[in-house]
Amino acid sequence: MRIGELARRSATTTRALRYYESRGLLSARRDDSGYRVYDEDDLLVLRQIRTLQDCGFDLEEIRPFVECLRAGFPTGDSCPASSEVYRRKLGELDDRIARLRDVRAWIRTRLDAPREPSVDRRPAAPPKCELTPIGPRPGA
């Protein structure tokens, strides 16, 4: 299939497909006329990419899953490298959930605080509301 059909079947754009190709996640073959040609395996790889992106994985985190599929495994998460990415992502999610719980508790205390003026007008120190990982990202 050509790039337009792959884009249509995967509900993405040809621009996105070219980008994935430039990043080494999708590989196109060329026909005699120089057009990009893809097959069903490429569609499977693309679906893996899109699913993981929808779950918040960046392209470098997705790379082991694509490599696993290219190695002939039935799913992209069949390989140890993919499992390691899952473990790292789970840790990140646990950290974010903990931060969100702190933010929620802080907001709850602000809502439950008495509305009348108090002697001490200094607000309680807010929790760190940042939802992105602190420090360099794995693989960055």
Taking the C-alpha atoms of residue 59 and residue 25, their distance in angstroms, rounded to an integer, is 8
> Which range, 26-35, 87-96, 119-128, 131-140, has the best average confidence (pLDDT)?
87-96
Q: Where is average pLDDT lowest: 12-16, 64-68, 78-82, 129-133?
A: 129-133
Within 3-139, strands assigned E span 29-30, 36-37
**Per-residue model confidence (pLDDT) at position 114:** 78
Angle at 27 (CA atoms; ends 23, 32), nearest 5 degrees: 130
Tell me the domain boundaries of the chain.
3-111
**Per-residue model confidence (pLDDT) at position 113:** 83
Mean pLDDT score across all residues of the chain: 87
Q: What is the mean pLDDT of residues 134-138?
A: 47
**Per-residue model confidence (pLDDT) at position 36:** 92
pTM of the predicted protein model: 0.74
Query: pLDDT for 101-126, tens place per residue?
Result: 999 999 999 998 877 665 556 666 66
Integer Rg of the chain from CA: 22
Residue 18: is its pLDDT beyond 90? yes
**Contact criterion met (CB below 8 Å) for 43 and 6:** yes
3-111, what's its fold? Multidrug-efflux Transporter Regulator; Chain: A; Domain 2 (1.10.1660)
Query: pLDDT for 78-87, tens place per residue?
Result: 999 999 999 9
